[in-house]
Chain A
Amino acid sequence: MGSKDRVWEVFSQEAEGDPMVHGGSVRAPDEELATHYAREFYGRRQESERLWIVPRDAITELDDPDLLKPPFDRSFKRPGGFLIKHKLEAARERAGSPQVDEEGE
């Protein structure tokens, strides 16, 4: 061991249906030991329903700020930029559906 070690990223799910959340990483020479160590670090206290163990070098990373944080104002691309509450009410009236007290943005 040592030079042949790889880093494995561990994702865990706390309860069935929850999203897989990145927990951290372990170092191990292969998948088998990585699985054992992931279990020790992220599962031995009954805190996980499921673990995903992924070799770090299998992850494609995108962190280019030109692609992810372009310098111009992009707020119009967010759905929050539109107020649809009144349009929704009008549409419901037209359709004759009962009023629900669910708030549209």
Chain B
Amino acid sequence: MSELDRETRDALAELLLAMADDEFVLGFWDSEWTGIAPILEEDVAMSSVSQDEIGHAKALYELLAELTGEDPDQIAFGRPADAYRHAALMNHARTDWAFSIARRFLYENADAVRLESLDGSSHQPLAGLAAKMRREETYHLLHFDLWLRRLAEGGSDSRGRLAEALEMLWPDAQAVFAPLAGEARLLAARILPDSLETLRARWLDRVVPRLEQLGLPVPSPTQRAAAPPSEARTRRTPDFEWLHGEFTMVARSDAGATW
């Protein structure tokens, strides 16, 4: 990694942190379904998918730690709430099943687009990790598309809740592709093969037709045209502050302990 100059390294660190925090925070939100999902089998499925995301976050934090010489656990659990860099999509509480499914559908597709691009990254450790993650995400995509369809076709109550959640989450879902300070540097080094705006367009090309097919609300042309603001990865909410308190509780109880 020493061949990267300082600015490129910082830019890569910013990208890795954003991706890791997306996976980490979403993994924690949806792990809250353990014990209360619609049926026992789904309980296990949702818990396991959430565990996958935390596993991906772990791999990304480790890659980041190698780059910066920090401790991966410290990055994951040792930061104050306002130092997390997940997209605003992950700022919201779990809410109801339709809300969680709407968020997963939007995120899994965004993540798929991002990983497909990074599969061709010039930074080998990241390209390798993206390829591995993509294989596991295949099932996530299938599973949440299945649930999206079921809720869309499941009657007025589930459909209404799903539609409401999608409309509410649109602007924050775009935040997965919010510009990064070091993006130009990442593009020049081909660490990031496509710009975030290109990726956002690809994501829209996938989710919009699918939602239209199911008769669900889609973002207006104005909403689609507006690139997400850079603060979409820094804005934090009371919901997230609460979750942060939960997931750092054990680590804080005896900081620096060896487990």
Question: Is B146 touching A32 in the complex (CB atoms < 8 A)?
Answer: yes
In the bound complex, how far is the Cα of B142 from the Cα of A37, in angstroms? 12
Residue of B nearest to A34 (CB): B41
Question: Is A36 touching B45 in the complex (CB atoms < 8 A)?
Answer: yes
Would you call A53 an interface residue if the criterion is a C-beta within 8 Å of the partner chain's C-beta atoms? no
- Size band of the interface chain B makes with A: 10 to 19
Interface residues of B in 85-132 (CB under 8 A from A): none
In the bound complex, how far is the Cα of B45 from the Cα of A27, in angstroms? 13
In the bound complex, how far is the Cα of B139 from the Cα of A54, in angstroms? 21
Residue of B nearest to A39 (CB): B139
Question: Is B48 touching A27 in the complex (CB atoms < 8 A)?
Answer: no
Q: Is the interface of B mostly helix, strand, loop or mixed?
A: helix
Residue of B nearest to A27 (CB): B41
Contact of A41 (CB < 8 Å), options: B39, B41, B142, B143: B41
Binding site for A on B (CB under 8 A): 38-42, 44-45, 48, 139, 142-143, 146
Beyond known contacts A36-B139, A37-B45, A39-B139: 5 more, CB 8 A cutoff: A33-B146, A36-B45, A36-B142, A40-B41, A44-B48
Binding site for B on A (CB under 8 A): 1-2, 5, 26-28, 32-33, 36-37, 39-41, 44
**Can you list 27 A-B pairs, Cβ within 8 angstroms, ordered by A?**
A1-B38, A1-B39, A2-B39, A5-B39, A26-B41, A27-B39, A27-B40, A28-B41, A32-B146, A33-B41, A33-B146, A36-B45, A36-B139, A36-B142, A36-B143, A36-B146, A37-B41, A37-B42, A37-B45, A39-B139, A40-B41, A40-B44, A40-B45, A40-B48, A41-B41, A41-B44, A44-B48
